[in-house]
Amino acid sequence: MISRLSLNLLGACLALFPATGFAADPDPADWPSVLAAAKGQTVYFNAWGGGEDINGYIAWAGAELQSRYGVTLNHVKLADTADAVSRVLAEKAAGRMEGGAVDLIWINGENFASMKQQGLLLANAWADTLPNYALADTENKAVLSYDFTVPVEGLESPWGTAQLSFYYDSAEIDNPPANLSALADWIAANPGRFTYAAPPNFIGTTFLKQLAFGLLEDPEVMRQPVDPATFDAQTAPLWAWLDKAHPDMWRSGRVFAADVTQLQTLLADSEISIAMTFNPGGASSAIRQGILPETVRSFVLDYGSIGNAHFLAIPFNANAKAGAMVAANFMLSPEAQAKKADETVWGDPTVLAYDKLDATGKALFDNLQKGPATLGAAELGRAINEPDSSWAEMLEAEWARRYGAGG
């Protein structure tokens, strides 16, 4: 796979050579023409494939797209979104300005920032012209307009929101730790019962950012691009916390989980006692599926938790641009958003504004039931907006240098 440094260097050069002279992109303002062009197209949707609930939802969406619009959705299951970014960049480097292999990407954060900077995204501000975009809660959810502080500017369509939460078995733990000091004490008192995913897996990187916001002397510096000259001094408390905690973690901090799915499995198998997820309804969904015991409950740390939105983006050279727009618009519909928010299906929170929905749309959400491990908005507390995307890359690199080989 192309390294992120190589992506940045190559992208900076390729940005000097924009794609010109090709057929005009579909215009969502003329939606009937988009629907006509999309019929019969196959959309290669590059999305993380590590969750069976998510895979099942995407399969449902694909069946609906086929029956309603004649669009075939082919789920290309990724282990890392950067793999799709690398492919698009390689195609641009090879001069493949049309007919690309990637039509739609589930994306956010540093991958979006990288694609935007390097001119790898469809650039006609298509997303905020989609018919269903009018229902998005852009007034109350700033995360729909900024992706890790980077302006979205119509280059990606909102798909869901997320907030970091932890879950535990209440039959084993009476009072989960409320802050980082208490978490450190709990890890020390319960050796082998806590771990997290190894960065750059998104939940592992999110945990690093969660720690940083709670431990840095001035966490607001993370709103600006990282300064390599001051990074070591600023993040010293973070590494000190991890250095102390790792020896008492699962497998003595020499091995880490692969992703949220393995974290869930470790807790289900009683190998660990506390796990984490970026989906506030994820634990309840797993209880309903019989994966986690009914006594599992959720909690957040008292200073807030990292929250963001995730999006769907179309590469500049996508082969099925019209089909990709139709797919993104359908996934933004009340029906698709309510099904995605259903904890028996996925449990991913919606990006829609309830007040903008008609009676039928509101009824879809009114009928949803929350499970025993789902925290309400008040319980979730303060959502900490993501830092500048440059912090993720620096945190991941330093984590790999310190602990990547089990050090």
Whether residues 131 and 184 fall in one domain: no
Strands 165-169 and 296-299: antiparallel
**Per-residue pLDDT at 40 exceeds 50:** yes
Whether residues 201 and 88 fall in one domain: no
Rounded CA separation 293/188 (Å): 25
pLDDT in tens, 333-378: 999 999 999 988 988 999 999 999 999 999 999 999 889 999 987 8
pLDDT in tens, 109-123: 889 999 999 999 998
pLDDT in tens, 283-340: 998 998 899 999 999 999 999 999 989 999 999 999 999 999 999 999 999 999 999 9
Across the chain, what does the average pLDDT equal? 92
Q: How many other C-beta atoms can be found within 10 angstroms of the C-beta atom of residue 106?
A: 23
Q: What is the pTM of this model?
A: 0.79
Whether residues 181 and 64 fall in one domain: no
Rounded CA separation 401/386 (Å): 23
**Per-residue pLDDT at 5 exceeds 90:** no
Across 379-394, average pLDDT: 89
Whether residues 204 and 302 fall in one domain: yes
Whether residues 153 and 185 fall in one domain: no
CATH of the domain at 133: 3.40.190.10
Of 185, 239, 269, whose CA–CA distance to 401 is shortest?
239
- Based on the structure, what is the number of domains in the chain? 2
In terms of residue numbers, what domain contains 263? Answer: 165-307+383-403
Q: What percent of the chain clears pLDDT 90, i.e. is strictly above it? A: 79
Whether residues 117 and 179 fall in one domain: no
pLDDT given at position 347: 87
Whether residues 180 and 301 fall in one domain: yes
Whether residues 240 and 346 fall in one domain: no
pLDDT in tens, 69-89: 999 999 999 999 999 999 999
Whether residues 172 and 53 fall in one domain: no
Q: What percent of the chain clears pLDDT 70, i.e. is strictly above it? A: 94
Whether residues 351 and 365 fall in one domain: yes
Whether residues 301 and 316 fall in one domain: no
Q: Could you give the count of Cα atoms lying within 13 Å of 241 in the half-sphere of its Cβ?
A: 22
Whether residues 279 and 193 fall in one domain: yes
